[in-house]
Amino acid sequence: MTFLDVAVEAVEGIAGDILGLGEEIVGQIKSRGEAYIPLESQAISALQYRGDRTLTINFTDGRRYVIHNFPALELERWINAESAGAYFNAYVRGKY
């Protein structure tokens, strides 16, 4: 079984959790095993979310932060927040 097969299987297993993320993001996860989500933020340039629930946060200064087992529901809330940086500080930093 390839990594992509494992990722697709994981996505199908958590489909109920990720339905709120939107068809484009779910489609990216199913087809490529991950979704790239660019953000309009002074602090965070993009999020990458894999089917195995691994989240990579790409900061505008070049740093990266990886979180394993990140809930899809939390990702949905984050990408819909008014400020990605404020959401990170309030709900993600130090909690995952």
Residue-number span of the structural domain to which 41 is assigned: 3-92
How many domains, in total, are found in the chain?
1
Predicted confidence at residue 7, as pLDDT, reads 53
In the prediction, which pLDDT does 17 show?
A: 47
CA dihedral 18, 22, 26, 31 (to 10 degrees): 180
**Model confidence pTM above 0.75:** no
Q: Do residues 66 and 56 lie in contact, with contact meaning Cβ atoms separated by under 8 Å?
A: yes
Instruction: Answer for the pair 49, 27: CB distance below 8 angstroms, yes or no.
Output: no
Band (34; pLDDT cuts 50, 70, 90): confident
